[in-house]
Each structure stands twice: as C-alpha cells, then as structure tokens.
Amino acid sequence: MTVKIGLLGFGTVASGVPYLLQENQKKIFDLAEAEIAIGKVLVKSSEEAQHLVAQGHDYDFVTDVEAILSDESIAIVVELMGRIEPAKTYIAKALQAGKHVVSANKDLIALHGTELLALASENQVSFAYEAAVAGGIPILRTLSQSLISDKITRVLGVLNGTSNYMLTKMVESGWTYQEALESAQALGYAESDPTNDVEGIDAAYKVAILSRFAFGMAIDFEAIHHQGIDVITANDVATAKEMGYVIKLVGDLQETASGLWAEVAPTLIPTNHPLATVNDVMNAVYVESIGIGQSMYYGPGAGQKPTATSVVADIMQISRDIVQDKVGQPFNRFDQPSRLADLEHVSHRYYLSVQARDTTGQLSHLAQLFEKHAISFDQVLQEKASQEDAFITVITHEITRQQLQEVTKDIEASVDFELGNVFKVLGD
C-alpha cells in the first residue's frame, strides 16, 4: 500500500522529509506498514518551482493549495510553512476535506490548537504536531504515551535555541547582550527581527502546547507570563556566577493547590542542575513526577534533519493507522478543565538586584523592607557600582508571588533604592 502526502512549503524542514524517506526507506516501510510517497508540493510561485527542479528536486510542484486539497489520492497534508496565515486556513480546509494533517507550526497550534483539534475530531481525521515543541526531541509523545501512568507535577524547559545560544556566550565568554545577538544573527540562529526569540514569546508558545500534554489543560497564550533575555545585564551574569548559578531562559509549568502556573522567564539555575549544562542551540525538557521522580529529555530544538525526524514520525504513525483502519485517533487523550493558579499558591526563591547609595545602614534599611513582608535572605552580596553607589543583590528563601509583588512595590517606592532585575531562582 502507498500513502501519499502533500507538502505545504519546501523550505529547510520540508526538504528534510524526502531525505529521511529515502535514506531510511526500509525501516519506515516496515513500521509504517506502507510506502510513503510525496504526491504534490505547494510552493509560492512557478519561478520557485523551476528553481527547485533545476536543483534536482523531481516532484509535482503546484502553486495552488486546491491542487492538493482536491486530490483524493493524497491522504496526509504536511504543513511546514510556518506563521499563522495562510497556514491556518490551509490546515482547516485540509481537515474539512477529510485529510489527516501533520504540522510543526508552534505559533499556530499554541494560539488556535483547540479550534483545529475540534475540527479534526469533527471530521474523524488525525492532527499531529510532535515537531512543534523542541524540534528533534520526542517530548509530546513521551508525555502522552510513555509517561501516561505517571502524575506530572512540574515541567521545566530550555525551549529556544537562539536565546540559549546567546546566554551561553554571555555566561561563558562574557559577551554583552548586543554582541551575543549580533553573533546569533550572523550564524542564522536569530532573525533580523529577533523579538519572538529574545522576549520569550517563542518559548511561551511551546509552554502552551506542553500544558496540554503534561497536565491536560489548554492554557491560553495570554495567560502565560513571559519575560525575555533582553533585560539581562553583564552584572546579572557575573553576580549569578559568583553566587553559584547560571542564567537560562526557562519555560515553567507547575501544579499548585489552586491550579497551573505557566511562565517563561530568565531563571537562575544551580550549576549542578542538569538544565545548567544545556548550552548553545540545544534544548531540554526536565520533568518532575511522582512516579519517575526527575527525568530530562535533551537534544536539538531545531534544524532540518532533527525536526524532519519528528515530522516523519507523525506521518508514519498516521500511515499505520490508515492501514489498520484506526484513523482519527487523538494525538493527546489527556483532557481536563483548565485551572490557573492563584498568586498566593505560587512560590519560588527570587534574585533581586538593587542599586543604592553606598552609605552606612543601606543594607539594614533594605532588609527591613523585606522583613515587613516576612521575607528572609538566603544569600546577600554587596559590590561597588560606582564611587557613590553600590549593588546589593539578594536571593530570598521561598516566597509567594504575592509577597514578591508587595516587596518590589515598596522598593520601587523608596527614594533610597533603584530596583534592577528580578529573576526566579531554581532550587538544587
């Protein structure tokens, strides 16, 4: 039996799909229980099609998506275009046409996944998107299948390769944020407009998807607190290192008494924690659960072959379901009502950087502001900022998010202090 696929787009990841289908042909045929063949490929223009043919790509290139949607021989539509539109429209039409869909589009799935999954269910077709989170790491199926018997309590992730590359250079080489950004752009890791990567938006999309698989909750993207790495200073990096930490941009999903807390933010990680060793463009997802305890899943978060590997795995699963007449199986069966955490139930340790006049009694004065809110210090470091000013850096013991809001408000209102960065601190 042959299962034909229609590729929407033929960029970096999409061009990796035929490579895997050819290089791993026998194993794919044996496990998919069918030959997987590329039926048609959607490209933007006839000029692009001619250019690809000249490069040696011998496929049926089309410029109208209807040529794929109306082709009854094509069973699976593989969307690798990126962005929201026209991808959303094309996927919706494919599902309505009774075609299964595979996608790597994290933005689209995070923002419109609920709608598209409902459409897939309504039309009794499959919609899979393993490659949407952490590229080559099979984390979604791990959560929904391998860990199906376990109760997950927290998921932490280094989920954006661009920001992680930049932070690695800032920590290990002492580069400034701007130097690290320029290098990331020169190497092709960062776009000319790096907003989604450096402001935590890309990682927040992935956290939204992970919430469905780890906790069965569809969390709106707007409910995910996100802060980027563009606020991190050289002083933050150096001080964190002196106190025994490295700074990473971390996605965090945590179960609390009142509901789920979802966040992406720069986080101080102890140097002996597994996530501290995830460097350059690599990704990792660290899972805490009552059964296994702690486990980490590490690998490339992007790239042609790693991402295409996850895409082809989805295609193979759907192909096998077609052969076995089991189509329409949900990608993730875990579903429960979404509940967001109350701030008084969200507790962490925090790093606060405060600039003050370098005079006697300032540390004592600052300590009084913390004591007012029943906050105690785990570590304190005082250093010269200039001839007249000093940096006071504190790491608190565990406090609630509500306490943090109250004490930062008091510090900002004080004429004696200037509040710098506030970052979460991960426990040992």
Known catalytic residues?
Answer: 206
Distance of CA 245 to the CA centre of its chain: 22
CA 32 – CA 57 distance, rounded (Å): 24
Pairing of strands 260-270, 225-226: parallel
Cβ-based burial of 6 (10 A; exposed 0-12, middle 13-18, buried ≥19): buried
CA 301 – CA 309 distance, rounded (Å): 12
Tokens representing residue 238 in the block:
């150096």
What DSSP letter does each residue of 220-271 carry, written as one string?
-GGGSEE--STT--HHHHHHHHHTTEEEEEEEEEEE-SSSEEEEEEEEEEET
CA 263 – CA 350 distance, rounded (Å): 14
Rounded to 5 degrees, φ, ψ at 271 are -65, -20
Exposure string of 28-47, with b = 16+ CB inside 10 Å and e = fewer, is beeebebebebbbbbbeeee
Per the DSSP assignment, residues forming a β-bridge with 61 are: 41
CA quadruple 178, 180, 184, 190: dihedral sign: negative
Tokens representing residue 345 in the block:
């139930």
CA 421 – CA 265 distance, rounded (Å): 11
Specify the DSSP class assigned to residue 70. Answer: T
Specify the DSSP class assigned to residue 340. Answer: B
Tokens representing residue 179 in the block:
């130097």
Contact at 8 Å (CB) between 90 and 118? Answer: no
Which DSSP helix (H) or strand (E) runs through 286?
strand 282-289
